[in-house]
Amino acid sequence: MELHPDRLLPPDPGVRDIARRLYQSVQDLPIISPHGHVPPQWMADDINFEDPTSLLITPDHYVNRLMHAHGVELSTLGVNQKDFTADQKREAFRTLCSMWPIYRGTPVKYWFEHTFSEVFGITQVPSAATADAIYDQIDAAIKTPEFSVRSLYRKFNIEVMATTDDPCDDLHWHQQLIDDPTWDGRVLPAFRPDKYLEPARPDWNESTDRLAEVSGEDTSTWQGWVAAMENRRAYFKAHGATSTDHSHSDAGTEVLPVTEAERIYLAARAGTASVEECTALRRHMVTEQARMACDDGLTMTIHPAVVRNHDPEAFESYGADVGADIPHAVEFSRALQPMLSRYGNHPNFTFVAFTMDETVYNRELGPLAGYYRSVYVGAPWWFIDAPESISRFRDNVTTSAGLLKTSGFIDDTRAFCSIPARHDMSRRLDAGFLANLVAVHRLTEDEAVEGIHDLVVTCPRKAFKL
């Protein structure tokens, strides 16, 4: 196994030459990662990873779900297992390697090959026969100081990385990083208040009580909830946050009359609000976050429309985020209208919409970002963080939104070692996209060089105010 220097670049020799030059012009730029799921503790404590399986398999639902689709129980991969022995870990790694062909054509294979080769210097192709040798080589490496998280952070040339955090989190890991004179990286919290915005959730009242405790505001009233939210956003901003992140079952926004918001809020607190009222209140709460964003300037990102925990048995056995979420269709044009008609052109508001339903790129998100001052189209993420989707994304949004009303690449990952692979993948594909525009004489090569620099650094810095 070895990485070809031209991987992912367009096959046509003429276009590839252009793409190669474009790629080389951004290849060594630092990684800007404004949204992801790496735990801040890793950087704060500069940990070393324990073993290859808990690093590369167990926490990564991208990897596990396809093995599950081929009959592997998640428990045997260590998912939600309290006592997962060294033997079991080695066995899980053997399972992965022996099933290597199931990943053909997937981005997971691509990321793994990059990680194995570039991070760990593995030259063997994963298989039942090579599993143990690969395991041992990685296991030995990750115990050395060169593979501590901070060492890798520097090696990966990460300029800034955001984590995803609960509004009630005290952000002490982030504080520890701020207070650490030996740390010169930049790890920022991001405000993810979903569960506080869903009055229909069984745990909403409890969450809202907790919000009161942490913020010191009285959340028995609607005004108190608003104040508590403003308080926590300010706390996050004071700890370096530049964005808030939101994921609900739809993209709905709504502006309720204040008295109606108050009435439903009290009913929800009393447990008597109907499903429809809870939905209306949630949409109003989302719109309130936009209003707050106009004030405090935190970028607002959304990525709605996924059936969470589609497989109830897996949810019972393993909990959330184990790969059993399934996307569904989403609508933005009408759903965002109440919010955008109020705040869409506010000079202090930045709004990034992500999707896993690619049909909206061309039809809705491109046109929205190509008109409203606040709107940026988010890069393909999660299920569509894949070469084909990234290419289609540019083919679909550039027409209406150009290059500059897009978010820059988002890795959205908890797989730390795959971060360089993902960002590098995106740069190669954007180079191919722009090379094609040069080849059909829609851009000069000079314009394309500027364009790819914009995509790699200008866009994420602007969209996330970094």
Report the site for a copy of itself in 230-289 (rule: CB under 8 A).
none
| Binds a copy of itself (CB under 8 A): choice among 155, 308, 328, 465 | 328
| Binds a copy of itself (CB under 8 A): choice among 55, 56, 324, 410 | 324
The answer to whether 75 contacts a copy of itself (rule: CB under 8 A) is no
Tell me whether residue 339 or residue 419 sits nearer to a copy of itself (CB atom): 339
229: burial class by Cβ within 10 Å (0-12, 13-18, 19+)? buried
Under rule CB under 8 A, which residues in 426-455 are in contact with a copy of itself? 436-437, 439-443, 447, 450-451, 454
Sequence length of the chain is: 466
The answer to whether 51 contacts a copy of itself (rule: CB under 8 A) is no
Binding mask 291-310 for a copy of itself (x = CB under 8 A): ----------------x--x
Under rule CB under 8 A, which residues in 109-168 are in contact with a copy of itself? 109-110
Tell me whether residue 173 or residue 349 sits nearer to a copy of itself (CB atom): 349
Phi and psi, residue 187, nearest 5°: -120, 115
The answer to whether 23 contacts a copy of itself (rule: CB under 8 A) is no
Tell me whether residue 37 or residue 109 sits nearer to a copy of itself (CB atom): 109
- Contact in structure between 37 and 171 (CB atoms under 8 Å): no
Tell me whether residue 154 or residue 334 sits nearer to a copy of itself (CB atom): 334
| Binds a copy of itself (CB under 8 A): choice among 107, 240, 304, 460 | 107
Residue 278 corresponds to which tokens in the numbers above?
Answer: 């809870």
Tell me whether residue 17 or residue 46 sits nearer to a copy of itself (CB atom): 17
Stretch that binds a copy of itself, among 37-45, 61-69, 161-169, 413-421 (CB under 8 A): 61-69
How many residues form the binding site for a copy of itself (CB under 8 A)?
91
| Binds a copy of itself (CB under 8 A): choice among 398, 407, 413, 418 | 398
Q: How far is the CB of 309 from a copy of itself (least distance, A)?
A: 10
